[in-house]
Amino acid sequence: MHARRLFFALWPAQDDAARIMAWARDAHALLGGRIMRQDTLHLTLAFLGGTGERDVQRLIQAVPGWTARIEPITLRRFGRFHGPRVVWAGPDENSRIVWLDALHQAVWSRLESMGWQPPSEAFRPHVSLLRRAGSGDMAMLGCRPPITWTPEACVLAASQPDLGGSRYQVLARMRLA
């Protein structure tokens, strides 16, 4: 069996995902590309990449013992990663979300103790909306009323390539406090 691509992510409740999806549809109308499915919108905390089955089992067993303190997150703006042509919704660039940075740090220090190498790049919290988006002017999207949502779950998920995109499978859930 080949390695599955694993990641830890914060998942919105259904009604919050529906509100985020409205942003995705507006962005898609302007920029095209592949729109994310509403039921798999998420905020990635840690991407582990291809993970062998033995390590998948170690991670699944480790997760139920973790707890996380969760507070609301406010999405205020669209942003873009040029390489993968991802368009996303994110918080203000200049305001750090202290609890979210702390959670990212806690997840990575736990992963590091299990042998994973933390990323060298800074954590930039975002919810991806489009992949392979066109190069239209994002300023045309204007400002939207902000979306404040409280993650419903923190999950360990596996991403599997599927026709036209990726399918995500939730493997384990962390307790939220």
Nearer to ligand 2AM, 37 or 177 (CB): 37
**Binding-residue total with ligand 2AM (CB under 6 A):** 7
Here's the x/- map for ligand 2AM, 125-144, by CB under 6 A: it reads as ---x----------------
- Considering only residues 4, 7, 73, 174, which one is a binding residue for ligand 2AM as defined by CB under 6 A? 7
Name the residue nearer to ligand 2AM (CB basis): 47 or 99.
47
Kindly report the three-state secondary structure assignment for every residue of the chain: CCCEEEEEEEECCHHHHHHHHHHHHHHHHHHCCEECCHHHCCEEEEEEEEECHHHHHHHHHHHHHCEECCCCEEECEEEEECCCCEEEEECCCCCCCHHHHHHHHHHHHHHHHCCCCCCCCCCCCCEEEEECCCCCCHHHHCCCCCEEECCCEEEEEEEEEECCEEEEEEEEEEEEC
Angle, vertex CA 74, rays to CA 70 and CA 34, nearest 5: 105
Interface pattern 87-126 for ligand 2AM (x via CB under 6 A): ----------------------------------------
Active-site choice (2, 28, 42, 104)? 42
Assess whether 2 carries a catalytic annotation.
Answer: no
- Restricted to residues 37-76, the positions that interact with ligand 2AM (CB under 6 A) are 44, 47
CB of 59 to ligand 2AM, least distance (A): 15
Show which residues are catalytic.
Answer: 42, 126
Q: Using CB under 6 A as the criterion, which residues of the chain lie in contact with ligand 2AM when the complex forms?
A: 5, 7, 44, 47, 86, 128, 159
